[in-house]
Each structure stands twice: as C-alpha cells, then as structure tokens.
C-alpha cells in the first residue's frame, strides 16, 4: 500500500470512527446478536426465523438511531 493509499485510508477511518454512522453500525450489530439470542430463548423459534427477525428489526432501528443521534446532536445538546 502506497503512502497516498495509507493517507486516504486513514483519513476515511478517522472520519468514520468519530461519526454517528459508525456508532449506528456498532449498535446495529450488537442489536442483531442480542435480538436473535432473545428470540430463540424466549419464543423457542428456529434459528432461521430468529435470524430473519434479528436482522430486519435492528436494521430499521439502526436507521432510526442514526437520525435520532443526528437530531439530538444538533438540537438537544445545545441547551
């Protein structure tokens, strides 16, 4: 990897790590794991159905969290 590539990669990484989208992605991954585990334990569903539910629902929540975080950072924290 050239110095230019490294610099470009590091610039993108620095921007992503401090952003709302990075927190939303980490939150969503954790939510998928937690949701699938709870679904199997609580409902006794198959792993396949739990996985479908665990992927779809947190993806929607991840999008919701991203917009909530952007709103919160721009409006709520200024008070």
> What pLDDT shows up at residue 77?
67
> Does 41 or 2 have the greater pLDDT score?
41
Examine residue 59 and state whether it is found in any structural domain, yes or no: yes
Examine residue 19 and state whether it is found in any structural domain, yes or no: no
Examine residue 2 and state whether it is found in any structural domain, yes or no: no
Examine residue 65 and state whether it is found in any structural domain, yes or no: yes
Examine residue 10 and state whether it is found in any structural domain, yes or no: no
Examine residue 64 and state whether it is found in any structural domain, yes or no: yes
Please give the Cα distance from 5 to 1 (Å, whole number): 6
Tens of pLDDT, residues 37-66:
999 999 999 999 999 998 898 789 889 999
Q: Which range, 25-34, 35-44, 69-78, has the best average confidence (pLDDT)?
A: 35-44
Task: Output the pTM of the full model.
Answer: 0.57
Residue 56 sits in which domain range? 44-71
Assign 78 a pLDDT band (cuts: 50, 70, 90): low
Domain count, the chain: 1
Task: Report H helices in the chain.
Answer: 3-17, 20-43, 47-74
Give the count of beta carbons closer than 10 Å to the beta carbon of residue 66. Answer: 18
């Amino acid at each position: 990897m050239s110095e230019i590539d490294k610099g470009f990669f590091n610039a993108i990484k620095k921007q992503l790590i401090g952003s709302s989208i990075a927190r939303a992605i980490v939150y969503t991954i954790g939510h998928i794991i937690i949701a699938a585990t709870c679904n199997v334990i609580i409902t006794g569903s198959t792993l396949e159905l739990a996985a479908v539910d665990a992927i779809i629902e947190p993806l929607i929540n991840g999008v919701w969290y991203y917009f909530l975080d952007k709103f919160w950072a721009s409006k709520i924290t200024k008070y």
